[in-house]
Amino acid sequence: MFLALLALAVPLPAQQPDPFRWMNFHSPQDQDIVAWVTRSLAAEKWTSIREIGVQYDAALVVTTQRAGPDSLPSADTFTVWSTSLTNHGITPLITGVNLRLVNWMKLAESSPLELAALYDSCSECAADTYFTAFHYDVAQHAWVARWMRGGQAAPVWSANPPAGVAWTQVYAGMAEPNGRELMATWSHFDYGKQKPPEDFVYRYDLDPISGLERTVALGGKEADALKLRLCGGQGALPGMARGQDSALCEQLVPPRVERKPVTTPPANNRGRSLPPGARH
């Protein structure tokens, strides 16, 4: 087994919560943490340790597993762990392929930023894409993944359309006027002449009172307003949007046609124009 620090698919912004810090695998001052995490995960199956992020007494760890020496890196599976820095306890949070740690999100006004992630269910297949956010839970002294259900996080995209149905999908991470951020999705099912189309609009955010994650199904005017925001891309977070180029979005929010500047001279131009106020 060996340690490797691999580049993220999308560079993370410089902003991150204090006192969170990514470990530098080549720095002498971080070797104690690297050795501790390696020992904690010694009994697990992994080929390399990709990232170690530390906050207080717990580490957020990303490991990858390669099927064989001839396998492509794109086929690697990953697991994200919460690893205790006091007793070697470990907890697997999510497993999948093509992990993208895309942004730090402000899910609650009075809470620290949380690390948002997208990942896929499989490689070289019709994959499903999921969204989650990692945060340090003070009560548990551990890292926790948001919106987990049945071993997977919030579904935002699928490459498995139902037979005989035209399925349009749109999702985006969004910033609200009050500074809070959320994930929103819209699925439109067109059944042709079989029956009227159906729309499913969801918002994934935190309850402002309890601080717990929630999944809210929207309807009516609230859903229509969110569809416009999704297709228009207003306040979309970098690296967290897809489907805005769909035909459905272009019908809802037509692309802006910018007026091209006129570069040809008028037909009567003979190079004899004079500046304003000049004597004839």
C-alpha–C-alpha distance, residues 279 and 258, integer Å: 38
pLDDT of residue 273: 47
Determine the average pLDDT of the residues in 67-96: 94
**In sequence order, what DSSP letters do the residues of 95-127 get, joined into one string?**
EEEEEEEEEEE--STTS--EEEEEEES-SSS--
Determine the average pLDDT of the residues in 11-25: 76
pLDDT of residue 18: 79
Query: Are residues 244 and 237 in contact, defined by beta-carbon separation less than 8 angstroms?
Result: no
Query: Cβ-count burial of 35 within 10 angstroms (0-12 exposed, 13-18 middle, 19+ buried)?
Result: exposed
Tokens of 173: 């991470």
Domain spans in the chain, listed from the N-terminal domain onward: 1-147, 161-256
pLDDT of residue 254: 77
pLDDT of residue 280: 47
Q: Tell me: the pLDDT tens digits for 202-217?
A: 999 999 889 899 999 9
- DSSP single-letter state for residue 228: H
pLDDT of residue 204: 98
Query: Are residues 243 and 169 in contact, defined by beta-carbon separation less than 8 angstroms?
Result: yes
Rg of the chain taking only CA atoms, in angstroms: 25
* Banded pLDDT at 61 (limits 50, 70, 90): very high
